[in-house]
Chain A
Amino acid sequence: GQSLEQPSEVTAVEGAIVQINCTYQTSGFYGLSWYQQHDGGAPTFLSYNALDGLEETGRFSSFLSRSDSYGYLLLQELQMKDSASYFCAVPTGGGNKLTFGTGTQLKVEL
């Protein structure tokens, strides 16, 4: 089967840098995605890594190490609006569906 583990909660202060980790076990690997979900809202796509290394998109970066079955989302210059749940996800079922991790609740404090 497949599983994706994330820390359940992370707390950081405004302006800081925070890293949200994701370790996965899948049969077949097609890349690692990250989604953000604010309370009461829909998950929205943040980033996708197919290959090892760091992908940067503004204040957010995502890293993948396929040999370690591990990735992380790095959020820099944290803002209050970054308080949300963050989910890693991998395509499974031959790429036909997206399986999500357990989710990490990020709380940004003043």
Chain B
Amino acid sequence: DTAVSQTPKYLVTQMGNDKSIKCEQNLGHDTMYWYKQDSKKFLKIMFSYNNKELIINETVPNRFSPKSPDKAHLNLHINSLELGDSAVYFCASRPRQANSPLHFGNGTRLTVT
């Protein structure tokens, strides 16, 4: 299946821990994103990479570090997790063409206790 896949689907951890979320797309897209969706369902962009290069960093705390080893993968590492980091994190990708739609992964629900 062609898709954006992210793992894990659920992540429950304690404050202060470090965790990673992985994302892979086999759609051949050039651009990948991380979005955060809070409890009010507000979708906010965090990062964008174009062909492994960081192009958007939306004033996210530096505890969040994205890494793109190649244009098909965009991982998110979070250090020193805080209660406020609890949210659903979505990976997404899109082709290079202007105004092409985003394709989202199924999300990772992160719960920090």
Contact = CB atoms under 8 A, between A and B. Distances in A.
27 contacts: A30-B98, A30-B99, A35-B102, A41-B106, A42-B90, A43-B102, A43-B104, A44-B104, A45-B101, A45-B102, A45-B103, A48-B99, A50-B99, A85-B41, A87-B43, A91-B98, A91-B99, A93-B56, A95-B99, A96-B48, A97-B33, A97-B56, A98-B102, A102-B42, A103-B42, A103-B43, A105-B41
A102 B41 CA distance: 8
A43 B98 contact: no
A31 B101 contact: no
Interface in A41-87: 41-45, 48, 50, 85, 87
Contact of A42 (B42, B56, B101, B106): B106
Interface size range on A against B: 20 to 34
Interface size range on B against A: 20 to 34
A48 B101 contact: yes
A85 B37 CA distance: 13
Contacts of B98: 30, 91, 95
A96 B30 CA distance: 12
Interface string B52-95: 00011000000000000000000000000000000000100000
Chain A interface, DSSP helix/strand/loop, else mixed: strand
B43 A97 contact: no
A74 to B, nearest CB: 19
A9 to B, nearest CB: 11
